[in-house]
A and B are shown apart, each in its own frame.
Chain A
Amino acid sequence: MRWLMRRLAHAALLLFGVSALSFLFLEMAPGDYLSEMRLDPQIAPETLAALRQRHGLDDPLPVKYGRWLASAARGDFGHSFAYNMPAAPLVWTRARNTLVLTITAALLSWLAAVPLGLWFAARRGGWVDRSGAAATALLLAIPDLLLALALLMFAVRTRALPAGGMVTPGAGGLLDLAAHMVLPVAALVLGGLPLLVRHVRAAVVEVLDAPFIRAARAHGIPPLRLLWRHALPAAANPLVSLFGLSIGTLLSASLLIEVVMGWPGLGPLLVEAIMARDLFVVIDGVLFSAVFLIAGNLLADVLLYVADPRIRTA
């Protein structure tokens, strides 16, 4: 328990640091949202000045940051100039959509990677393993962008699936959502699967060489049970750590895929906000992504703690 508290405190500190750094960097950035608006002749300079005053855009950095922290404690994470609404709810809705995508993709990837990795490890050296390795290498070499574009092209040509967006306007429901999810999730899974399979295979291969596996085999334990009940739990340790790491890569991949496929997640929002210099949206978006990543790592650590008795006693 003490350990968990420490990790949480550490995570909180990290988030503070990230937010402070973001503020610092944005401060050093030339121009902000309102300076872009200055070029618009329809907006009176007095309005702009008033807006600047209201949001404290000209205050010194520590004041800005302090004010943001204080309001964040109250749940107010700043104001989006582009959308003219509080930044937090905006970011949260988009973040939810990203989560839906990434969690589904993560589950599917691991569900596919573990059996495949086990299979290749069990048949290592054989043609199954070698063709698997070749397929993995090829898939790894295909950039996510290409995968996304290829999938989109396929969807538009065959009209089998909706190409882009999250819901069909007018329609609704789970089935519709699922149909829209197929393409982005497929792109994410195909992009992440090869590396996962490789790691699972490597971890299992290392375990299969261990003496206790050989002993079990000598005792006549059938190979399937051997893999599932003996090898896999022993290989779980590095894999659980990998799970934490894969969250980060999945989030990065989803940024691009969301933009390409028009999925209304954090990715497109962030890109928009950068172009428009929408200060608070950028910071909040970046912070959200950090929260996901840190949460994912924390989850992985907890899983490791629970799964591996050796760590508990350490």
Chain B
Amino acid sequence: MQALDGVDLEIPRGATLALVGESGSGKSTLALCLAGLEAPDCGEITAGGPVQLVFQDAAGSLNPRMRAADLVAEPLVVRRCPNARLRALELMEQVGLAAHRAGDLPHRFSGGQRQRLALARALALEPALLILDETLSGLDLSVQGQIMNLLFDLQRSRGLTYLLISHDLRLAARVASEIAVMHAGRIVERGAPLDLLADPRHPHTRALVAAIPELPCAG
């Protein structure tokens, strides 16, 4: 049983591609492959620069006994980069975390702040491609908006390319410049968000679109 079957993906630099599909469609596996944490049985991955992954479970990806600044600095420490701690503090500020929180433990941060922490750490190695695995899901709408703005700012200032993985088609539509729909390990449809929402071709895309709850317009 293959998780992925003939996936052919190309993301233009500086853009945001959203990978949408329900659970079991293979999106997380693809993310792990691209990040170099799983080796594909066949096929090739070429990236125009380093690839980093922001995990689905931000809290789980942060060692609960390590202080915030140490967590962010760890990738640099592992590479023996100079001034790791200093750069970690800079990164924390860039994602909107106050410097005085550098000594706090993860459980003292809110969910949204933990996402920022994970983001800061992913940026430490100056990636070209950032894979955001369900990064915006599970947050309050207001927090979601804040993180979204942060992501947009970072993308502009650093020229980052994003691969957003989500099960939420509506969220993807707000964030991405292009959406690819995944089902059973294959990419079944791909296109601009508005086109996809207006005229879904593949039955699965249609199912996803139909699943979006209709909200009555505010009066």
Direct contact between the two chains A and B in their complex (CB within 8 A): no
Name B residues whose Cβ lies closer than 8 Å to a Cβ of A: none
